[in-house]
Amino acid sequence: MQSKIADSLKAKLDPAGYASLLALNNQRLFDFIADAAELCEPAVVWISTDAEKDVDQTRKMALELGEEKPLNIPGHTIHFDGPNDQGRDREVTKYLVPEGQTLSDALNQAPRQEGLDEIRGLLKGSMRGRTMAVRFMTLGPNNSDFSIPCVECTDSFYVSHSLNLLYRLGYEEFKRMGDKAQFFATMHSSGKLDGRRVSAEDEKKRIYIDYSTDTVYSVNTQYGGNTIGLKKLALRLTIRKADREGWLAEHMFLAGIHGKGGRKTYLAGAFPSACGKTSTAMLPGETILGDDIAYFRAVDGKCMAANAESGIFGIIQNVNAKDDPAIWDVLTKPGEVIFSNVLVKDSKPYWLGMGMEPAADGENFVGQWHKGMKDAKGAEIPCAHKNARYSVTLSALKNCDPELNNPAGVPLAGIMYGGRDAKAYVPVQQSFDWVHGIVAYGAALETETTFATLGKEGVPEINLMSIQDFVAISLGKYVKNNIDFGGKLKNPPLVFGVNYFLRDSNGKFTNGMRDKHIWVKWMERRIHGEAGCRVAPTGMIPCFEDLQALFKEVLGKDYTREDYITQFTIRVNENLAKLDRVESFHRQNVQDAPAAVFEVLDAQRSRLKALLADKGDQVSPFDLPKK
């Protein structure tokens, strides 16, 4: 360690912490931590190793500082974010772009030096009188080709505690790598706090990603998606790393789906927030390997996948005993759980859609709350926020997949893309090939904005592969990387499109909440050649008899011809309108869109127009050919 840096850190560290840091032998790491300490001016710098005492210390500090409060079930705590800090904030999350470089116009960005000056000005002195925790974690399994070491400096012990639950401890991984560790870094401060220990200056909230140095800066916010640097913030950096190295970093869950003869087949799925992602990853009777971020590598012609995380920062709305038994079990028994932004009354948490009447008053994200309470605009304040969350480690779940920490990853056999599409796409379909799936289901993923992102809800938009907000390379290059990745594989995963939000002419959802299990089981059988299909212009759809058998087998439910017609009728004009929206998005926002995008869209348009001329606008699935 250089002498100037050493002197700077010695003044803030105790001897044990200094020795622990020195053992990591990485000058860039020393420079980053010293810069954070000098800029933010904490009273103390605390180095956390992988030792159990350090893991315990971060939990204790979160309670001692009042960032979390204990609940009545042992190990459960509650954390509140401010009323205007309840989700990822698109407007103030920006890429810092060096002079001479450009990103897609669809991405929020600022000139690098201008952005650094602004956010470092906001961070200056922000930790005075506080402890800066230095956390070492890894993305992906340790000691693996998937491993990415990460360091976060934060003055929030809620954030530090969340890291314990959501990621793998990484101090020993840094020590193993030494000066070869190419790490991601995050500098975070909650900023000025109010009496509830909540960030008080949300108008000064900023989350900036300096991709040229793999560094994230975050200030005046506590919400996990804005502050836990290894989450979506690091995903932006990982996408650039994957682009350089020839693999994929995806906003996808990973699940093990059981099939005939005791086999288990791994599938991945990309869904925007609040579109069914976690509930699909947590299907009863199956195993969950990850609910949010997955890494894919081509290894000897096979697609191998790993979960970047080891925990769940999940939306709690509508989690209930009937529909989500595995999560419900964890949320209602002793063990380590952090609840955020739910209602608390007499140390008991309540949330929207939990299947029981909430308390009539208590504390929630706005402070003291009572039923019927209204905000400044006259709108009624719900008992809990729609984007209220829970944080748990995956290993606490009974259905956690045993391969979670396998350094080699798991073989991936299928990928699904799903959004909120009320009018066009059927509930499930399989692409004609890899490129068709990547374009027609991934790059064409259409949804509606939800409560997980600040702003107006219910606005239709293209959310390319459910990763658009996080792509730190050009969108066209990102799509091309996905297309090209299939060429590295002997047998690429099959690609499926799903849509749980199709509505009938009366505005009623055509899917039942549990129907998604049928669609996933059909995928598993298609992968193994055990289910037929009918051929639609947009892809291959299930045959009635296969779904009839699956509904009876999986849900114990009768499935009628009328159900099948309602769900799988091809709405030709709605699909043509969808194609127009998708093409318009790519022509306007994806300046370097691959030619394959427009070729796939044109071919799909031709098939739809041919069907329209032959059979009209509303085409029964029984009128489509079997394959």
Give me the active site residues, please: 275
Pick the closest to residue 604 from 497, 526, 506 (CA basis). Answer: 497
Tokens linked to 513: 């909440």
Backbone phi, then psi, for 206, in 5-degree steps? -145, 140
C-alpha distances in Å from residue 553, one per residue of 546, 549, 557, 559, 562: 11, 6, 8, 11, 19
Looking at residue 477, its amino acid is K
Distance CA 103, CA 97 (A): 8
Query: Do the bridges between strand 248-250 and strand 206-210 make them parallel or antiparallel, or are there none, so unpaired?
Result: unpaired
The DSSP code sequence of 59-86 is: HHHHHHTTSSEE-SSTTEEEE---TT-S
* φ and ψ of 485, to 5 deg: -60, -35
Sign, CA torsion 452/455/459/465: negative
Dihedral (Cα; 515, 516, 519, 521), 10-degree rounding: -100
Q: How many CA atoms lie within 13 A of 51 on its CB side?
A: 9
Cα–Cα–Cα angle for 135, 138, 143, rounded to 5 degrees? 130
Cβ–Cβ under 8 Å, residues 190 and 73 = no
Of 444, 452, 439, the residue nearest 419 (C-alpha):
444
321 to 353, 354, 394: CA distances (angstroms): 10, 8, 18
Distances (CA, A) of 493 to 123, 411, 518: 45, 9, 19
Q: In what order do the strands lie in the sheet with 361-364?
A: 348-350, 343-345, 361-364, 367-370
The strand ranges marked E within 220-332 are 248-250, 253-258, 264-270, 287-290, 294-299, 302-307, 311-315
The count of other CB atoms within 10 Å of the CB of residue 98 is 12
The backbone torsions φ and ψ at residue 248, rounded to the nearest 5 degrees and listed phi first, read: -125, 135
* Token output for 45: 């710098």
Q: Which residue carries 């996948």 as its tokens?
A: 305
Q: Count the Cβ atoms, other than its own, within 10 Å of residue 495.
A: 27
The DSSP symbol for 211 reads T
For the chain, helix (H) and strand (E) counts, in that order, are 18, 33
**Contact call for residues 352 and 345 (beta carbons, < 8 A):** no
Q: How far apart are CA 31 and CA 27, in angstroms?
A: 6
Residue 539: beta bridge partners?
Answer: 536
